[in-house]
Chain A
């Protein structure tokens, strides 16, 4: 029979909708509203996994985020996902789950042999062994350890689902919809404040769903439902379920992770799976509640051992009875509610209370219900391998370190409660230093660092009326602060059972004759003994204990183990807990998928793609593109079966012999305007700028303050106070920030403004001996003769009705022009140039040919200007003014920059005139020298010289100026290449620069 552990008419699941699912290959059913955990438990399945180190059988320990054991591999929507918390994932049709970390099956796991050898695997054992012989660590031992590593299996498939981001601002964010959260959200919302209420689970209400309380004569759940429906009606309130606030960052920026799609049976392809919310809030109420902590005892990891609160949640919320003969092992009153609930559902609970004979409202009620209570008793050890069958129980001695008599008690589950631990993670993340509260033996928030306030059991307040009082007050205070409104709300009356004080008992002593492991951290298999060993060996700081034993480092981040670990350390070290301190709480509160954090910037959207206005033409004409930062640039235009080198050489040759056209839109363009523009340029560039006439361009080099070349380019004086600066494509953004830095911070007295115009202008370079012929036809109304438009000249012209700018500048070393029109006319310009140029043999050329042309000419570019070269290194000394000061000048006097053998740019040709020299090769005197072989320099750029029809390279060479004519070896051990080369001038073609002026 399926779901035979389901109670009749209990819980908030939808019994009208049956859900089919699979676990370890077998089919089961559950109901809508179940979690995978509650559905499995309704089918009587406790054993769901194996532990990490000893492969011990493990079952459900909790019912929510605190679950340490039930991490499953889940198949859903065609994806397989590891380490899914079965107590959190909602049951949805077709979901399939399998156990992890076991082979061949969870029922019979070979790895469990580790459990028998546990003595040899104490904390930190791997630091002490696997060292001999030396090579075995990496070859034998570690592969073996790695095989055992990990829990689930990551799929290597591409994720087909989408993840969204959302940005929100609010007056108040409330994290958790228990009584504290509802009260504060409601009170604040009443004033009109913009409120976001976030609940991790899919049901609102938090503890109100489980606790036997009433508020204003409504049951806890009904009151919660009423408040939620009122909040939902308010336009100033956003109520989100399935939403976990997982990080509290600077300046009240919180982040929330919303599960949008996984629980939906049908969804559109546009429904995201999960959504990340960045929420900037004025105020934050942390109403994150508390987590029950266990008492440590022998074999406390056996399936069937569970938190008392978990058992209660399964009964109350899901209508699942986890046992018929439960033992309730507690040091406080709250677990009595679990016992009473068991009793109400026909089970036969036995309460073991570590406290001495004790009276309270709940104790009385339990007694009246006929529940057997043994005071001053503890569970020593659970018995049973894959499921609890019985427990060894004992009566505690006066000092509670021994037992008076020990008996066996039959049971089918053990529900344990060691009192409650406030969830202070978010408070701690916000910068709140926590304080230890001796009353509750746990940390609670102290003074706020940011605008946050913790209410309810997260603050150690465990009574409902107090929580409501403080929640409403907090909401009202925030209303006052935000809207300066006094709200008059009647605080409701709560009816609740009074709880008496808990017993400071958190670990059952283990008599010598009883063998068992007592686990503090379940998932990482950290036992009491492990912690004792760590301390014995001197790992005494709590961080050392954590790291040496791995306590609290599993995927549950020690939610149920950290405090018990601390108690153990403080007991052994004979310190109080606050002296031991706590480890740091770090985001995220619960694990968050990486897809959610990244959002939509995936695949091709990793970075925006910038296209020039002529892009479509390039595509149509077989351009092969290259990424230049975010830009796509034509690298070469492929004709037939050409290789890249063939195409580049053809294009370059065409420029040298006829005329070529190149899309140079991507060059950075900056307008520099103002009466002090010339003075500013004079400070920014190394050369002189005060006397540049209107209508003239000049080449400039700019340095960083450390003396290194930052960028180069031409700047043209368009009018009296208007200059048009160009930068390299790569440095465009940096140069603009650099200019703004100096104008706004260093020299605010200069009356200059700068603005990027890169995207306003489309640019085409027209280069080659026939470029003027093309130009004349392109601008029939203009005089573009050598006299009217000389080298470094500038004209404004009319391109068939389109205003254009003509700059006579050259990167290729040929007679060349650069024409700019407004971006919208870029394609028009380009097509006109191609059309008109066709009779002169015009061909487009890409960045490969561009490189060839500039390398031959000895013009430097990115590979030479690599942030490590000063002007002298790249033969730009002539550009450096001796007369005036400029950015970076003072650094040029540094010792290293003036050494006589300082590096210098040179040209290289292979002595065989055939073998191309790979970029990145280094220059050495002796190619066979023993290592380390001293390096004299490196090859920065290489090309096939179309002019001389042999390879040519540029290199940065130590003492380069005195090396001309010498022979060296260019070696690339990576490519197993060494080439004898001759050092020549870096200007390989047109040494005198006649062509650009022709």
Chain B
């Protein structure tokens, strides 16, 4: 268990950046940059161990209770 202060939040992990050098519609682009589902309940999100090992990683967390179900490295599936 490490203190919350060591980490910073990185938002919804399910948002995918459109590939480089591809035609991207306005809608697709805005869905990447602006639009968020902000789910209530289970939420897959990114965290950064910013005052620590500097790893970005994935967390599955409940946005109503803050309970953390799972964490995973970026190259792992949740």
A737 engages B74 (CB within 8 Å): no
Q: Specify which of A167, A449, A737, A748 is in contact with B48 (CB 8 Å cutoff).
A: A737
By size class, the interface of chain A is 20 to 34
Question: Which residues of chain B are within 8 angstroms of A740 by Cβ–Cβ distance?
Answer: 48, 54, 56
Q: How far is the CB of B77 from chain A (nearest CB, A)?
A: 14
Q: How far is the CB of A178 from chain B (nearest CB, A)?
A: 29
Question: Which residues of chain A are within 8 angstroms of B1 by Cβ–Cβ distance?
Answer: 169, 251, 280
Query: Bound complex: CA of A167 vs CA of B67, how far in Å?
Result: 21
A745 in contact (CB, < 8 A): yes
B3 engages A167 (CB within 8 Å): yes
Q: Specify which of A251, A278, A280, A705 is in contact with B66 (CB 8 Å cutoff).
A: A251
Q: Specify which of B20, B33, B48 is in contact with A885 (CB 8 Å cutoff).
A: B20
B24 engages A744 (CB within 8 Å): no
- Nearest to A706 among chain B residues (CB) is B33
Question: Which residues of chain B are within 8 angstroms of A746 by Cβ–Cβ distance?
Answer: 17
Query: Bound complex: CA of A34 vs CA of B33, how far in Å?
Result: 63
Known: A737-B48, A740-B48, A741-B56. Contact between A431 and B33, CB under 8 A? no
Within 8 A of B (CB), among A84-130: none
B55 in contact (CB, < 8 A): yes
With A740-B56, A884-B21 given, can you name 11 additional A-B contacts, CB distance below 8 Å? A167-B3, A169-B1, A251-B66, A683-B20, A737-B8, A741-B10, A741-B48, A741-B56, A745-B10, A891-B29, A891-B33
Known: A741-B56, A745-B56. Contact between A890 and B74, CB under 8 A? no
CB-CB nearest 4 A-B residue pairs: A885-B20, A250-B66, A744-B56, A885-B21
Question: Which residues of chain A are within 8 angstroms of B33 by Cβ–Cβ distance?
Answer: 705-706, 891
Question: Which residues of chain A are within 8 angstroms of B54 by Cβ–Cβ distance?
Answer: 736, 740
Known: A167-B3, A740-B54. Contact between A890 and B24, CB under 8 A? yes
B50 in contact (CB, < 8 A): yes
Q: How far is the CB of A994 from chain B (nearest CB, A)?
A: 38
Within 8 A of B (CB), among A880-922: 884-885, 890-891
A449 engages B56 (CB within 8 Å): no
What would be 9 A-B contacts, judged by CB atoms less than 8 Å apart? A169-B1, A250-B66, A740-B56, A741-B48, A744-B55, A745-B10, A745-B74, A748-B74, A885-B20
B72 in contact (CB, < 8 A): no
Question: Which residues of chain B are within 8 angstroms of A705 by Cβ–Cβ distance?
Answer: 17, 32-33
Query: Bound complex: CA of A169 vs CA of B67, how far in Å?
Result: 19
Within 8 A of A (CB), among B11-36: 17-18, 20-21, 24, 29, 32-34
B24 engages A251 (CB within 8 Å): no
User: What is B's interface to A at a CB cutoff of 8 Å?
Assistant: 1, 3, 8, 10, 17-18, 20-21, 24, 29, 32-34, 46, 48, 50, 54-56, 65-68, 74-75
Proximity bits, A724-747, B CB within 8 Å = 1, else 0? 000000000000110011001110
- Nearest to A888 among chain B residues (CB) is B33
Question: Which residues of chain A are within 8 angstroms of B75 by Cβ–Cβ distance?
Answer: 748
Query: Bound complex: CA of A705 vs CA of B3, how far in Å?
Result: 30
Query: Bound complex: CA of A407 vs CA of B56, how far in Å?
Result: 76
Query: Bound complex: CA of A706 vs CA of B35, how far in Å?
Result: 12
Output the residue of A278, A705, A890 with the most chain B CB within 10 A.
Answer: A890
Query: Bound complex: CA of A737 vs CA of B54, how far in Å?
Result: 8
Q: How far is the CB of A741 from chain B (nearest CB, A)?
A: 6
Query: Bound complex: CA of A429 vs CA of B49, how far in Å?
Result: 27
Output the residue of A705, A745, A748, A891 with the most chain B CB within 10 A.
Answer: A745
B65 engages A431 (CB within 8 Å): yes
Query: Bound complex: CA of A706 vs CA of B30, how far in Å?
Result: 9
- Nearest to A250 among chain B residues (CB) is B66
Question: Which residues of chain B are within 8 angstroms of A683 by Cβ–Cβ distance?
Answer: 20
Query: Bound complex: CA of A250 vs CA of B61, how far in Å?
Result: 12
Q: How far is the CB of B49 from chain A (nearest CB, A)?
A: 10
Within 8 A of B (CB), among A947-991: none
Known: A885-B20, A891-B29. Contact between A745 and B46, CB under 8 A? yes
Query: Bound complex: CA of A748 vs CA of B58, how far in Å?
Result: 14
Q: How far is the CB of A263 from chain B (nearest CB, A)?
A: 30
Within 8 A of B (CB), among A673-730: 683, 705-706
Question: Which residues of chain B are within 8 angstroms of A890 by Cβ–Cβ distance?
Answer: 18, 24, 29
Question: Which residues of chain A are within 8 angstroms of B34 by Cβ–Cβ distance?
Answer: 706
Q: How far is the CB of B17 from chain A (nearest CB, A)?
A: 5
Known: A251-B1, A891-B33. Contact between A449 and B65, CB under 8 A? yes
Proximity bits, A610-641, B CB within 8 Å = 1, else 0? 00000000000000000000000000000000
Q: How far is the CB of B31 from chain A (nearest CB, A)?
A: 12
Q: How far is the CB of A201 from chain B (nearest CB, A)?
A: 30
Question: Which residues of chain A are within 8 angstroms of B29 by Cβ–Cβ distance?
Answer: 890-891
- Nearest to B28 among chain A residues (CB) is A890
Within 8 A of B (CB), among A852-889: 884-885
Q: How far is the CB of B55 from chain A (nearest CB, A)?
A: 7
Query: Bound complex: CA of A891 vs CA of B65, how far in Å?
Result: 36
Question: Which residues of chain B are within 8 angstroms of A431 by Cβ–Cβ distance?
Answer: 65
Output the residue of B10, B33, B50 with the most chain A CB within 10 A.
Answer: B33
